[in-house]
Structure 1
Amino acid sequence: MSRLPVPTLPAPPVSVLGLGQLGGSLAAALAAAGRPVSGWDVDPAARDAAAAAGVRVSDRLEGVVVLAVPLPVLATALDGLELAEDATVTDLGSVKVPVQQALGARLGDRFVGGHPMCGTERSGHAAADPALFRGARWAVCLEPGTSPARWLRVAEVALAVGAEVVPVTAAEHDDAVAAISAVPHLLAAALAAAAADAGPLALSLGAGSFRDGTRVVGSDPAFVTALLEQNAGPVATALAAVQRQLARPWPELVADGHAARAAWAGPAGRRPVRVPLDRTALLAVGRAGGAVTGRLAAFVEGWVPDR
């Protein structure tokens, strides 16, 4: 099996396009880590906030270019901007297959899809937090045509801000995120709407379980709608699976759900792994539920669950 080529040049600069919560957090975190980083946003207030965090403000895109813009405008985000010919482009979008199709067709192997699994229901540059990515999982897509060297460059950006990299295909990402992100948004919205229909007394009695169950419904509705509509097939499949669970006898459902949550949230070991830089080995780490935490020459180091 062929090994991926290892880039030997110094880590390139990072250009972040879009300085809202995710983009602003990433740019500030990279600046704090000493990584050369620039940022650009159409909002002057977002540019000012990034500059105050030590980010150089520039609309020239070079090195590793991170598209931190809303899903509906990802495909056209680069229009009218100066993109260096050797730049590697990635994104932070919560859906990957449509983005891979659109930007892959335009950029070829210069594009590597990505998605950090973090953020809050807040949005905009005022919600930026340099610590946002610490300990977060960051999916970095490995398609058959992905350039290995460029994949490494994107992974290095995620590692530089304290995230753990999960190698994954775009399709696998979308199936997984439909189940653990998109469907929870739908359930939170349904729970909030049903409670509102139940009247003021019900709402006045709402406590921890209701608060936690509806937290994400505070997200920007346009963001959530884009997440759902651009991943409609996997979301429908994941929602149908939840509906089948709800149709089960309640005692069985509650018992099985409790057991599943305990198994997932309980203490589990992490078995260290070192894998060669080839696509099959990297994807095996992600599919096992593990992540990459560092790089050592022609290998990456990380872990897989040890239960």
Structure 2
Amino acid sequence: MPAPPVGVVGLGQLGGSLAAALVAGGRPVQGWDVDPGARDAAAARGVQITRELSGVVVLAVPLPAMAGALDDLAIAPDATVTDLGSVKRPVLESVGRALGGRYVGGHPMCGTERSGHTAVDPGLFAGARWALCLEPDTELPRWLRVAEVALAAGAEVVPVTAEEHDDAVAAISHVPHLLAAALAAAAAEAGPLALALAAGSFRDGTRVIGSDPAFVRAMVEGNAGPTAGALARVQEQLTRPWAELLADGHAVATRQQGRRPVRVPLERAALLALGRSGGAVTRRLAAFVAGHIPEDIPDDEVPDPA
């Protein structure tokens, strides 16, 4: 059976890169964007520009625009709808409430501080982790259709719930944006000499705050509770003796983590166990999925094998 088409709403960096990657792999892709320049750029890459979308419809728009992203578009009644938003609970409450089991929340952990259709990169998703939500009412066949889109773009799929996703990304994505902003603002207060001497460590530590501030604000405010909790944990770490803090941080940042392969049945509890263990799906195998988990996961925490 041929793979269903993919419709992408929003053809900026993430949506345009996904469309370009899928077109390059031979997948039929439809797309729409309110920006004529983004539409023209996507059409030049082989995307069919249309307001009529079917198959798997991907919302690749900013979080504030997510709830109305399908307005004025004709979406096939049997289409599966997913999104690429960096926060999942608010989208689940808006888009998910309207669509029920047809909606599958998603978030690819990739992208840069650049934005717009000029930042499109067909290789953006290669090797990236793509969180894909499995809620109690998520229809598993639809989850698999979205997973196959992510895999086709070169990503690895991490099964999660919306709540688990938002708690996790607060620590590893949202707080780093706030820390980057604080570091940049504090360096500016230190004066022009400090900024003139800034080199690699300052550049790396502040890179992400080069993103559009409106985008970052929507992200951290949309996930305010988990982000505040994660930020409090960082502040607590900063009160530790510096030698201990530096040693522990260095150990985490330089750890070598191997992988071991696993096969997992297409069942919600087993898939979520894979994600919680730090693993990911890399292939669909009929009634199973293949993937990997960290090598040091204890045997009693390994997801049930297929």
CA distance in structure 1 between the partners assigned to 2:7 and 2:252 by the alignment: 41
SS in 1 for 2:209: helix
Aligned to 1:114: 106
> d(CA) in 2 for partners of 1:273 and 1:194?
46
Aligned mates of 1:273, 1:202 — CA distance in 2: 50
**Structure 1 moving runs of 4+ over 2 Å:** none
Which residue, 78, 102, 112 being the options, matches 2:70? 78
**CA shift for structure 1 position 99:** 0.5
Q: Distance in 2 between matches of 1:61 and 1:229?
A: 31
| Cα distance in 1 between the residues matched to 2:65 and 2:34 | 13
Kindly report which structure 2 residues correspond to 1:1-150, keeping only aligned pairs within 5 A, or say none.
9-150=1-142
Which residue number in structure 1 is paired with residue 144 of structure 2?
152
2 CA distance for matches of 1:45 and 1:109? 34
Letter in 2 for 1:15: G
Pick one of 273, 279, 284 that aligns with 2:268.
279
Give the Cα–Cα distance (whole angstroms) in 2 for the partners of residues 269 and 195 of structure 1: 38
Deviation, structure 1 residue 20: 0.4
Counterpart of 1:187 in 2: which secondary structure? Answer: helix
Separation in 2 of the partners of 1:306 and 1:79?
46
- Partners in 2 of 1:134 and 1:53 — Cα distance? 18
Distance 2:210 2:109 in 1: 17
Cα deviations by residue, 1:47-86 (Å, 9 ceiling, x for unpaired): 0100111111111111000000000010111112111000
Q: Which amino acid is 2:25 matched to? A: A
Residues of 1 paired with 2:293 and 2:88: CA distance? 24
| Cα distance in 1, alignment partners of residues 251 and 101 from structure 2 | 43
1:297 is aligned to 2:286:
yes
Q: Distance in 2 between matches of 1:138 and 1:260?
A: 22
Paired AA for residue 25 in structure 1: S
User: In the alignment, which residue of structure 2 is the partner of 1:169?
Assistant: 161
Identify the residue that residue 182 of structure 1 maps to in structure 2: 174
Q: Does 1:220 align with 2:212?
A: yes
Which residues of structure 2 form unaligned runs of 5+?
Answer: 297-306
- 2:13 counterpart letter in structure 1: Q
Residue 159 of structure 1: CA displacement?
A: 0.2
> 5 Å matches for 1:213-292?
213-263=205-255, 266=256, 268-292=257-281
CA distance in 2, matches of 1:297, 1:10: 15
Superposed CA RMSD: 0.7
Q: Which amino acid aligns with 2:56?
A: V
Distance 1:79 1:57 in 2: 16
Which amino acid is the alignment partner of residue 226 of structure 2? P
Report what 1:200 is aligned to. Answer: 192
2: CA distance, partners of 1:10 / 1:35: 9
Letter in structure 1 aligned against 2:291: G
* Structure 1: distance between partners of 2:212 and 2:282: 31
Query: Secondary structure of 1:133's partner?
Result: coil
Post-superposition shift, 1:10? 2.8
**Residues of 2 paired with 1:52 and 1:105: CA distance?**
35
Unaligned runs of 5+ in 1: 1-8
Q: Distance in 1 between matches of 2:251 and 2:283?
A: 33
Aligned equivalents of 1:285, 1:194: Cα separation in 2: 41
CA–CA separation in structure 2 for the residues paired with 1:286 and 1:45: 38
Give the whole-Å Cα distance in 1 for the aligned partners of 2:102 and 2:204: 40
